[in-house]
Structure 1
């Protein structure tokens, strides 16, 4: 496929210590290549932040338009379509890759059908699935940056196990911490309000109770997060003394993504936090799927030109994205389908890419 490294899900034998298993790396430091990585993995946090600031207060972001009976801003349509597009893109990896599909046929065929039936058949399940999708998305987003960072660290010649747990919790702190402690907390917990319609007022009151305790959450996250950052730095220095080779690309990714998350989720100074964070996440994910599956997709479609394959890939997922974003929520069966796509994306991504396992 033209990649500089093996696939993220490919297992590596753990090492005893950085000094023991960190010979000079023969790998290139990039996942795909310099231009591709900088454009689609490393710079998206800064580029998305810049674009979010640029559109803030403009008609593109603020003035609603009527589209197929739905009232949307152009910015909302853009990022909403990208969100749905990247969600459905996982199916190119799960169902479009024969080697992976053969490993988990029940997960890929039976589970989505059962999930759709449960959501469609029970209002309580539908409300619970909505909340689950909201917070699974937060967990999943932190793991995406974690996976990319670990690959850059591995490509630098470091053993996959060294510092892995530190990076795991750092990425969740940098992504989920500003949500719990910052200006967008209520926006995330508002999904609990759907329980009010199914006669579960205690769960529906979660947003109000979180708002009442928000100051305590903020103080706790800032305190624990600050202590963890000090511990992370000290642990990294210790690893370096044992022979660990710092990866510039990993550090650049973590610093820029973390700073962007703190600034946008935490303060939302420009009112574009959801646009910025979802844009950078979707761009990285679509690029990763294309890098891993583009060549295989071209072979399966028997196409000569990679550009045409890319156009079909992006055209397909974006068509679904626009459709899902403009879908009338009163079409309950179709709405349930989009929710199943979201849940399967988070689940499939976890075990296909193996970003939550001791393999990268």
Structure 2
């Protein structure tokens, strides 16, 4: 039955005015789409757009709802227990799913991040969006004095069908939901189920649309006014929700667009509602009543408060991070719990503080409330507690399901989920980005490159896509290509420290040490609160034999990041460099006892044992490390060195070749491979490999000495002399080179120069044999 409330004034079609409603409620998407597309294509990356929108729209629009909940005295008194008890409960639940390290240890929680709460919020967020649209539709009907129950029901069904279709027909949204479902331990489903679901939802939407238009015709024939503003609103909202999830191939940009629309509507309606409430209630409004006075300055203060609340998210998380991502730092984990709590409370509070059917709400949105508007009504405590019990049971069930998946999932389970996602949404860049990173973690360069190329083709202006492409090329030893991709990533996101680190690593492997140092130092400046840039720079100095600089950085690491292993690992490197092998092995063994699954610690332990001359003990930790990180060049080199010392030259060659395949500029592996060929008597291979080592590090004393020694052994004395002299030109204080060249010249009859070189070698620390001393003495006589 259609109810029409008698009114003394002419019914109004608008909440405020045509221009206000159109700008802030109805046709906002027409303004949003071109602005965001231009920003995303010309000036900002998708990640930067997403970060700004998640902060100032997604998180920011929670604050006006909290202002209404805690600032309206009458509303707060009515729901006081909910407003006081639920926030700490939700915060505790969020901490349970994403616990900081200290809390996880104290509660014996064996996880860092679970996804069940994320799934709840994803689905609840969609419901929240459709209910906001439904609420505006009801306001426009009520503004015209019409409260048709059947029309209201059809409005609700239409919103439900439109938003459900916008989800299931969107690869981007189904990707997010399916990924979270499967990570939460729910069963994996294939594309055939998606096809049936889309057929069912499409059919339901068609039936509802037919019924909706038949009802409009019925109202028109009966002489009741039809709100064309409402029809325009739901039409634009449905198109926009479809566009942002289906037609836009960029998930970040699409979500950003709809979040802006949702937030602008929310900011506007809260401001108008509270202004009208203040005009009616005056000082009885509550402590925030002053904020909603009819002044421009108050509007500015309202928006400034929202911006301040939003900035917490904007300035604490970089553009690569998502609100539900688990972080390595305790402070970030607490922030994640706070952000999740804010989202959860926003959805929960809005479920009962904005009921358009209630007379209290209508008083501040409609000129004359409908005669059949329900009075203030509070759900009985038992019923409300039952609803919470159902919700908590669902959340607990998701927690248990994910724990079972984590405990029972076979090796390669994550890869299986990613493959299933790719089958479900094959044209989505997020899918290919995840598949590329999974291939990187497994050391499969070919697959990493293929998927990174597809992700980059779908999202050309994404700095993370370029960085993923660079990492894939780096794994495949396409260093020049990797350099180009990291330079593109830096150009798109110059403030992202990780891109400078990656670029510095590539430049180091290309031998451009000055540029590498510059990029790494810049990364340290951009990421002062992160240990990785300091670690990279310290390792760089260590490899460049700039020991004092490395020591200083390791000390800074130990001071700033006491939980980081890098400072201790740096000490072990320095102990080995100083020849204090026993101390290095002792410290590495201590670290390995507490970090048995950290491949870096195991590698350093194996390297220390190799340096101490105990390759037999080095093999076990190196083998464990290789299972964890088979694509690490240094790890393969250390295993090759251990096999060489164990007199297993063929095994040594296998590991050393693998190290060079992973990093063709690994000098130590190149030199050790040449030494192994020499041991086997494969002199031609040894000569070529020594030359490759010298190409990487011209004049290196050890490589020059060994290369020259082999040339002399083969009777190629002229080439041997040139090799020795080239080494001495770079390292004049190399004792072995002085000694070798002296002996060679002695044999060639250049006795005086030979004597000077041998005596210089003795002063530099070489112990001369009695025969050599006797020969030099005879020469003097």
- TM bin, normalised by shorter chain, reads 0.7 to 0.9
Query: Which runs of 5 or more residues in structure 1 are unaligned?
Result: 1-15, 63-71, 196-201
Alignment equivalent of 2:297, drawn from 296, 302, 308: 308
Structure 1 residue 291 corresponds to structure 2 residue 253 = no
Superposed counterparts of 1:3-82, under 5 Å: 16-18=1-3, 21=5, 26-62=10-46, 72-73=47-48, 75-81=49-55, 82=57
Check the 8 A contact 1:49/1:260 in 2, yes or no: no
Structure 1 counterpart of 2:162: 174
Question: Alpha carbons of 1:110 and 1:210: their partners in 2 closer, same or farther (altered >3 Å)?
Answer: farther
Query: Which runs of 5 or more residues in structure 2 are unaligned?
Result: 99-110, 279-285, 318-325, 359-371, 375-781
Structure 1 residue 241 corresponds to structure 2 residue 241 = no
CA-to-partner distance for each residue in 1:105-147, whole Å, 9 max, x for gaps?
A: 1111111111111221355996322211111110010111111
Alpha-carbon shift at residue 243 of structure 1 (Å)? 3.0
| Greater Cα offset, 144-153 or 311-320 | 311-320
Alignment equivalent of 1:144, drawn from 132, 140, 154: 132
Structure 1 residue 164 corresponds to structure 2 residue 152 = yes
Alignment equivalent of 1:273, drawn from 254, 276, 279: 254
CA-to-partner distance for each residue in 1:224-283, whole Å, 9 max, x for gaps?
A: 212221121112212322332111211111111112222222332565321221111111
Check the 8 A contact 2:97/2:117 in 1, yes or no: no
Superposed counterparts of 1:189-268, under 5 Å: 189-192=178-181, 194-195=183-184, 202-203=185-186, 205=187, 208-209=188-189, 211=191, 213-268=193-248
RMSD: 2.9
Structure 2 SS opposite 1:347? helix
| Greater Cα offset, 27-36 or 303-312 | 303-312
Check the 8 A contact 1:30/1:155 in 2, yes or no: yes
Structure 1 counterpart of 2:573: none
**Cα distance in 2 for residues equivalent to 1:302 and 1:290:** 9
Specify which structure has the bigger relative contact order, considering alpha-carbon pairs within 8 angstroms and separated by 6 or more residues. Answer: 1
CA-to-partner distance for each residue in 1:168-227, whole Å, 9 max, x for gaps?
A: 0111222221211222221343333553xxxxxx32x5xx52655222222222222122
Check the 8 A contact 2:171/2:245 in 1, yes or no: yes
Structure 2 SS opposite 1:243? coil
CA-to-partner distance for each residue in 1:28-66, whole Å, 9 max, x for gaps?
A: 22112333212111121222233344344334134xxxx
Structure 1 counterpart of 2:611: none
Question: Alpha carbons of 1:304 and 1:354: their partners in 2 closer, same or farther (altered >3 Å)?
Answer: closer
Alpha-carbon shift at residue 285 of structure 1 (Å)? 0.6
Question: Alpha carbons of 1:160 and 1:231: their partners in 2 closer, same or farther (altered >3 Å)?
Answer: closer
Alpha-carbon shift at residue 101 of structure 1 (Å)? 0.5
Structure 1 residue 86 corresponds to structure 2 residue 66 = no
Question: Alpha carbons of 1:46 and 1:188: their partners in 2 closer, same or farther (altered >3 Å)?
Answer: farther
Check the 8 A contact 1:48/1:280 in 2, yes or no: yes
**Cα distance in 2 for residues equivalent to 1:210 and 1:283:** 37
Structure 1 residue 342 corresponds to structure 2 residue 343 = yes
Q: How many residues align?
A: 325
Check the 8 A contact 1:152/1:247 in 2, yes or no: yes
**Cα distance in 2 for residues equivalent to 1:304 and 1:242:** 42
Structure 1 SS opposite 2:61? helix
Alpha-carbon shift at residue 306 of structure 1 (Å)? 1.9
Structure 1 residue 320 corresponds to structure 2 residue 309 = yes
| Greater Cα offset, 50-59 or 236-245 | 50-59
CA-to-partner distance for each residue in 1:273-328, whole Å, 9 max, x for gaps?
A: 21221111111011111111246489734797722222222111222223124434
Structure 1 SS opposite 2:139? helix
Question: Alpha carbons of 1:144 and 1:256: their partners in 2 closer, same or farther (altered >3 Å)?
Answer: same
Question: Alpha carbons of 1:192 and 1:302: their partners in 2 closer, same or farther (altered >3 Å)?
Answer: closer
Structure 1 counterpart of 2:708: none
Structure 1 counterpart of 2:105: none
Check the 8 A contact 1:22/1:243 in 2, yes or no: no
Question: Alpha carbons of 1:275 and 1:121: their partners in 2 closer, same or farther (altered >3 Å)?
Answer: closer
**Cα distance in 2 for residues equivalent to 1:302 and 1:183:** 42
| Greater Cα offset, 327-336 or 98-107 | 327-336
Q: Which has the larger radius of gyration?
A: 2
Alpha-carbon shift at residue 336 of structure 1 (Å)? 1.1
**Cα distance in 2 for residues equivalent to 1:86 and 1:92:** 10
**Cα distance in 1 for residues equivalent to 2:257 and 2:345:** 24
Structure 1 counterpart of 2:553: none
